[in-house]
Structure 1
């Protein structure tokens, strides 16, 4: 399975709560929440970034009431990047367009 569709794969790094986090991809909110569940089940912490806020927990009420459902950034701690990619079935060495 190819990795997230970015030309500069995993270059978007930010400081969140004092630690470096890496953006896995930008994708629709519902898909991102599904990926977050997979990551959580595998022991990887994740956070989504909407245009309005960082969301550490999945705000089910926001989803159910039709809150922001557009594209979000899905981030994981830099120290868990390799583990996150493995859980999602991505090859960290594979080119982004491959």
Structure 2
């Protein structure tokens, strides 16, 4: 399980998935009040310079909400 500090808050990686899937999961989790950070392999470069990257990206959630986020994923996040 990967962990890191993001803006001083401990985050944990929830999943790695193709960007369209990850964007959908991000929107659903945020709709349930769970903050999400989406990270491409090109985090240091502006998106505009890369075009629209649709490969695998990582979804990070606050460690305190990781269990809730994982449960919502298993339920299919209605």
Question: Would you say 1:86 and 2:66 are equivalent positions?
Answer: no
TM-score normalised to structure 2 length: 0.80
For 1:29, the equivalent position in structure 2 comes to 19
Root-mean-square deviation (CA), in Å? Answer: 2.0
- Segments of 4+ in structure 1 off by > 3 A? none
More strand by share: 2
Higher helix share: 2
- TM (normalized to structure 1)? 0.65
User: What is the aligned counterpart of 2:29 among 39, 43, 57?
Assistant: 39
- Where 2:53 maps in the other structure, the secondary structure is coil
For residues 4-50 of structure 1, the C-alpha deviation after alignment (integer angstroms, 9 at most, x for no partner) is: xxxxxxx1001111111110111100000010111011110001110
Which consecutive unaligned segments of at least 5 residues does structure 1 have?
Answer: 1-10, 55-61, 91-98
Instruction: Specify every segment of 5 or more residues in structure 2 that has no aligned partner in the other structure, as ranges.
Output: none
